Amino acid sequence: MPSVRALIVDDSGFFRRRIRALLEADPAIEVVGEAANGREAVELVRRLRPDVVTMDIEMPEMDGISAVREIMRRCPTPVLMFSSLTYDGAKPTFDALDAGAVDFLPKRFSDLSGDAEQAQRLLRERVKLVARRARRGPPPGSSAGNGPAGAAPSPRTGAAGPEPRRESQSAPMRGEGAAPAAAPPVRPQRPPEVAPGRVQLVVIGTSTGGPVALQRVLTALPATFPFPLLLIQHMPASFTTAFAQRLDQICQIRVREAQEGDLLRPGTALLAPGGVQLGLRRQGALTSVHLFEAGAGQFYKPSVDIAFEAAAEAFPGRVLGVVLTGMGSDGARGAATLKQGGSLIWAQDEASSVIYGMPGAVTKAGLSDSVLDLDAVGPALAAIRH
């Protein structure tokens, strides 16, 4: 008997039929309805109560972004957006995530995997994993509560929504395996205490749900944040430039897409480009970014594991690794390397994670020094002294 009930929303009848056939090839998924525009989608979500919705962005009568906002206001339901993986497609996709969508998928399935069979399997797996969020309820602070998910407080006024700080200094989310089972972690009673001088570099790794999570964490940091940051987000190469620019506009710290040779500087976050791996090179007292092609068998590009391992070598015992929401277990191996060298690991808790796979894998392995609600991560980082 199917355990996941899906609603398909797209103005193309051909695409709806194709998605229906792919999803219903899995006996655990039932397509309970189809909608040709956002207005129909809002009504069908209210009437059919699906576990997950797949949503196109550009549609007549009501576009996908507006539909997501209405769904989250009336009947919060996990929504997966289908997006064009181009620079021009990035902005509306991020707008949809801000409106409350959980994740996005490429409309061209070959962008998920060069192997058609694997791409179809990854699509079904993503739908099933995201549907689990419906059974746990929305993360605290999501658009099921007050306002759009990811509508971060303005660094100037505290009001919801982005406020440009200054002219930007800025110049694949791939399919993942099932999340490992993990017992819900115990939240700490107080913010983690970090001794002065304990940290020289912060590395944050995330995947599904990460764009909104990173926004909420980074907007809590002051312009005087005393450490450099590296951001490893599973995201296609065509999106990372736009994402870095978006973060730079709403954060008090500077955010840039990392380039070869970039120096690590306090108060600047470097976002790893999609499609390559991020390493580090020491140059005397300075440390710079080294970008390189992924090797055989390296599925995630960029990989949290590889970035954590590079940070462990460059800053032995002085790294804070933070693992946020995401499917799979990328980051667990690298977290073990960091811990062996004496560095610190924080993980997001299950209740505030969109998908608990990555932070759950780290916590289940006993690597987390602290397990934090998402909204506690930014203030805890801001409290660390140099």
**Active-site pick, 84, 142, 207, 329:** 207
d(C-alpha 309, C-alpha 335), whole Å:
8
Provide DSSP, 318-369.
-EEEEE-S-SS-TTHHHHHHHHHTT-EEEEE-TTT-SS-HHHHHHHHTT--S
**CA distance readout (Å), 60 to 9, 10, 283, 308, 350:** 12, 10, 55, 45, 37
**199 and 319 Cβ atoms separated by less than 8 Å:** yes
Contacts of 117 (CB under 8 A, 6+ apart): none
Catalytic (active site) residue 207: yes
DSSP summary character for residue 153: B
Count of residues in the chain: 386
Q: Does the annotation mark 234 as catalytic?
A: yes
Strand partners, 62: none
Cβ(306)–Cβ(279) below 8 Å: yes
Cα 67 from Cα 5, distance rounded (Å): 19
With both helix axes pointing from N to C terminus, report the angle between 357-364 and 332-340 in degrees, rounded to the nearest 10. 40
Q: Which of these is catalytic: 11, 26, 330, 349?
A: 330
Q: Are 101 and 215 in contact (CB under 8 A)?
A: no
Q: What is the 3-state secondary structure (H, E, C) of 258-303?
A: CCCCCECCCCEEEECCCCCEEEEEEECCEEEEEEECCCCCCCCCCC
Q: Where are the alpha helices (DSSP H) in the chain?
A: 13-24, 38-48, 64-74, 87-99, 116-136, 210-218, 237-250, 304-314, 332-340, 357-364, 374-382
Residue 372 structure tokens:
């934090």
Residue 125 tokens, joined = 């797996």
Enter the DSSP assignment of 25: T
In whole angstroms, what is the distance from residue 190 CA to residue 146 CA? Answer: 25
Catalytic residue among 51, 234, 329, 349: 234
**Residue 154 is among the residues annotated as catalytic for this protein:** no
Q: Hey, which residues are catalytic here?
A: 207, 234, 330
